[in-house]
Each structure stands twice: as C-alpha cells, then as structure tokens.
C-alpha cells in the first residue's frame, strides 16, 4: 500500500508518454544487460537530463531503478556517481582523471594496501577503493554522494549523527571524534562495524542523539509510557497521506485552428479556467474535493478503526474496576468528537494560511500560453490580398502549448498539498497525544500484551488482573 502511494508522487510525470528508443554507442538498448554493456558517461547523462532514461526504465518496467533515478536531481554535483549506483556500475570506470588525480589515487591505493596487509583484512576491499575514506575530505565527499556504505581507513573521523542510512565499516585503527553509543547510532539510522564506541551515553551529546533519532523516525514513546498506552499509540500510528493531483482540461484546443484571435483567446481561457477552478477546489474549505476533507476522512477513520465498540466496552469495564470512570468518559468524548475536531483543525490551517495556499493569479497562467498566427493568403499583395482577408479563414490562430501552463498549475497545487499533508500529520499526532495520555492515566502499571493475544483478549485479561 505504502509503495503504491509513494510511487504516485514520484518524478514520473513525463510530458511525452510515447515510446522512447534508448541508444547508447550506436546500439538500440532493449534490456538492462545491454544498457550496462554500452554504458557511457556522456550519453547516459544526456538521456537522464531529457528524461529519456527514466521513461525507458518505466516502459520496460524497471520500477526499482526508475524510482531510484527519480530521487536524483540534475543539478546534483554527484549526479553521475548516483546514476552509476542505480545501475550497479563503477563510476570510476567512466570518468577521466587528470595526472594529479591519478597520482592521488595511486597514493590512496598504496595506503589502503598497507593497512590491509598490516591488519590482515580482506584484500577484496581494494575493489571498493572508491568507497574508502582515508581522511575527512574523502569522507565528506562520500557522504555528499549519499553512499549507503562507507569504509573508514586508519584515521580519526567526525561522523554526522544527523545523516541516517549509512553503514560505516572500519579498516585498521579507526577512531571517531565525540562518538555516540552503538544504540544511539542505531536509533539515528546509522550502523557502525569494526569501530570502537563507548558503552555509556555522554550527557552533553544526549540531546543531539535524541533529535537525530526522532528525525530518523525512531519512536521513543514506549520508553516513558505504559504497555497499555504504548499498545494504542502503535495502533493509532498511520501513514502520512500522499496524493498527487492531475488537472483535467480540454487538450483538443491544441489541434484547433481558430478564425480570429479573440476566438482563440476565448478557447485558451476556457481550457485554463477548467483546470484552474479544479485546482482551487482542493484548497477551498468546505468543498467536497478539499484536501482538508481527505485528511479528515483518513485520520478520523484510523481513530475509529482502533477504538471499535468492543474495545471501548472493554476499556469502560477496566475503568469501572479501577474506579476511573471519569477518565473513560473523557476518552470516549475525545474519540467521539475526533472527526469534527480534526476537520476544524485542518480547515483552520487553510483559513489561517490562505495567502500561502493561494494559487498564482489566473492571468499569470494565461500569459504562459502563447498563440500563433497563420497567414494562409496566397496573393502577394494589393486588393486581392485584402479581399482574401475579408473572406475569412485566410488568417487563423492556434494555441502553441497549453500543457506547460497546466503542468505548472499542477506543480503549484501539489506543492501546496504536500505542505498541507505534512501539517495534517502533525496535527493528527498532537490530537492523539491527548488520547494516549488519558490511556496512560487509566493504567500505568499493567502487564504487557502477549505476542499472540488480541487487543480485546488483552483488555479482558487486564480486567481480570485488576479484580484480584
């Protein structure tokens, strides 16, 4: 489900859906094997820049590679290196080094060879030379290139805990400046192998570790809450909405010849207005298409799916036994009003930040669409040429490109939607905090749920234990 949602917001918004032929070194490419065999820097970069490479991958159903390619920006200094990683080729085989760079590469190779020899490390590590850092500058370059695996060789390094998704492997005597514990790195999404790390946390860096862990998505709720509260916290969690909106419009205006400029302008306006008005509906509170409505339905459903009538009945019994009926009433009210409350929060976001969420002025998009005049008169001049003009049809007008304006309109509304859904996720989490804290008050000393135990069965058992 999540992969499907994420795929809908990928870069794969290609303006020309027709089949694309990928040619490398004079050979038409039909498979990934052929692509790797004829891989070369200049042609690959050109195909990447004009989206031919992405479209070719999509048309041949190389979905994994296409998704990875979408994540690479054309202005990225490490663009080619990342493209090579997508296709499993060594970027060093496709770049030309200066004499000075060749000298530096040779020195690095000798350094790594010596460390491998001295430490009896695996000699195959030399095949990973481009992933080995022998100083901080090389490390910085590898981090900037988003390499998921980096070897650290016989040096003292500074490792950013705020950069997740990297495995660091030590070769030889490697030390880390101001190191964190293995557990702190794990929570931050970083793996350390063959590198000596402290066992106890440093109080001075603990806050930085917690921030990095939270940014990586680590949920520390269970560390400070009861088993019962943690159970509902985990069940209330849900994915952030990912929606990508496409605007409908009359594309036939592109192939129509109009007998007057005013007629052509009117057709252009009508086509743009259809898309523009549709886009505005997404950010108009109260509209059936409003993004606030979509968020409300999604998040309120999650709450009611967790707190089914059966679950609420068990919680009520538990509260009656524990003489905490007032807490249950508060909880029940919080759940009952969740849809209305969330709707108010989400619509308030659009109202209070109306200037931010507002679309560009309509005239802006009108100005983006140009019209072309076609003079079909055959007379060279004089009276006959004037008569041709009066007869009509000899001068016609066409719309040159409306797709670019529509595409920009879509980008505008999708940027707004992305920001809104981020905020909606935060608002939902904040609303759930009140629910979770009420459950924490209901019972902070209950036993944990057994692995094969249903939620209803768990609550039933807690009731029995509370009576004893």
What's the CA gap between 417 and 290, in Å, rounded? 10
pLDDT of 12 reads 42
Q: Is 436 helix (H, G, I), strand (E, B) or coil?
A: helix
For the chain, how many residues are written? 468
CB 58 within 8 A of CB 27: no
CB 86 within 8 A of CB 44: no
**Tokens linked to 229:** 């509260």
pTM of the complete model beyond 0.85: no
5 Cβ contact list (under 8 Å, min separation 6): 239, 242
Pick the closest to residue 282 from 246, 251, 249, 250 (CA basis): 246
pLDDT of 444 reads 75
pLDDT of 392 reads 55
H-helix segments, 173-260: 182-187, 206-215, 227-236
Report the DSSP beta bridge partners of residue 418. none
pLDDT of 3 reads 39
What's the CA gap between 23 and 46, in Å, rounded? 11
Q: Is 248 helix (H, G, I), strand (E, B) or coil?
A: coil
Q: What is the DSSP letter of 150?
A: E
Pick the closest to residue 151 from 126, 135, 131 (CA basis): 131
CA distances (Å), origin 319, targets 328, 332, 422, 460: 6, 12, 35, 12
Pick the closest to residue 223 from 239, 212, 210 (CA basis): 210
pLDDT tens digits along 352-407: 999 999 999 999 999 999 999 887 665 666 565 555 555 555 788 999 899 999 99
CB 241 within 8 A of CB 302: no
What's the CA gap between 43 and 53, in Å, rounded? 10
Q: 306 — phi, psi (to 5°)?
A: -75, -50
What's the CA gap between 151 and 193, in Å, rounded? 9
392: left (phi over 0), alpha (psi -120 to 50) or beta: left
pLDDT of 174 reads 95
**Tokens linked to 435:** 């629910």
pLDDT of 378 reads 59
The residue ranges of the chain whose pLDDT is under 50 are 1-17
pLDDT of 254 reads 87
* Per-residue burial over 281-298, b = 16 or more CB atoms within 10 Å of its CB, e = otherwise: ebbbbeeeebbbbbbbeb
What's the CA gap between 68 and 11, in Å, rounded? 10
> What angle do helix axes 325-336 and 338-352 make, rounded to 10 degrees?
50
């Amino acid at each position: 489900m999540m992969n499907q949602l994420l795929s809908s917001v990928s870069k794969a918004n290609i303006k020309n859906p027709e089949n694309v032929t990928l040619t490398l070194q004079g050979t038409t490419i039909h498979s990934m094997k052929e692509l790797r065999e004829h891989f070369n820097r200049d042609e690959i970069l050109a195909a990447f820049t004009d989206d031919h490479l992405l479209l070719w991958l999509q048309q041949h159903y190389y979905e994994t590679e296409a998704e990875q390619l979408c994540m690479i920006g054309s202005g990225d200094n490490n663009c080619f290196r990342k493209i090579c990683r997508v296709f499993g080729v060594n970027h060093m085989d496709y770049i030309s080094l200066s004499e000075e760079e060749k000298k530096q590469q040779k020195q690095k190779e000798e350094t790594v060879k010596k460390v491998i020899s001295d430490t009896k490390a695996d000699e195959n590590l030399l095949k990973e030379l481009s992933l080995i850092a022998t100083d901080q500058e090389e490390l910085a370059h590898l981090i900037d290139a988003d390499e998921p695996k980096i070897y650290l060789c016989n040096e003292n390094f500074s490792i950013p805990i705020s950069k997740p998704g990297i495995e660091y492997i030590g070769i030889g005597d490697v030390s880390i400046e101001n190191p964190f514990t293995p557990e702190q790195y794990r929570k931050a999404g970083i793996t350390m192998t063959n590198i000596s790390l402290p066992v106890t946390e440093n109080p001075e860096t603990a806050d930085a570790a917690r921030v990095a862990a939270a940014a990586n998505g680590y949920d520390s709720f269970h560390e400070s809450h009861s088993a019962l509260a943690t159970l509902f916290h985990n069940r209330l969690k849900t994915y952030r909405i990912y929606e990508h909106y496409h605007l409908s419009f009359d594309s036939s205006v592109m192939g129509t010849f109009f007998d007057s400029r005013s007629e052509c302008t009117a057709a252009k306006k009508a086509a743009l207005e259809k898309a523009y008005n549709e886009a505005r509906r997404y950010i108009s509170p109260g509209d059936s298409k409003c993004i606030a409505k979509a968020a409300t339905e999604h998040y309120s459903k999650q709450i009611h799916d967790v707190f089914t009538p059966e679950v609420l009945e068990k919680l009520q019994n538990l509260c009656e036994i524990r003489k905490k009926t007032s807490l249950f009433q508060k909880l029940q009210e919080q759940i009952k009003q969740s849809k209305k409350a969330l709707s108010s929060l989400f619509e308030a976001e659009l109202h209070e930040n109306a200037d931010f969420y507002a679309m560009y002025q309509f005239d802006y998009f009108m100005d983006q669409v140009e019209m072309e005049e076609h003079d079909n008169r055959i007379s060279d001049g004089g009276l006959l040429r004037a008569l041709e003009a009066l007869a009509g049809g000899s001068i016609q007008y066409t719309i040159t490109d409306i797709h670019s304006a529509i595409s920009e309109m879509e980008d505008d509304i999708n940027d707004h939607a992305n920001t809104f859904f981020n905020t909606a996720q935060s608002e939902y989490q904040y609303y759930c905090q009140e629910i979770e804290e009420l459950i924490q008050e209901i019972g902070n000393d209950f036993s944990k749920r057994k692995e094969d135990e249903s939620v209803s069965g768990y609550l039933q058992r807690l009731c029995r234990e509370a009576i004893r």
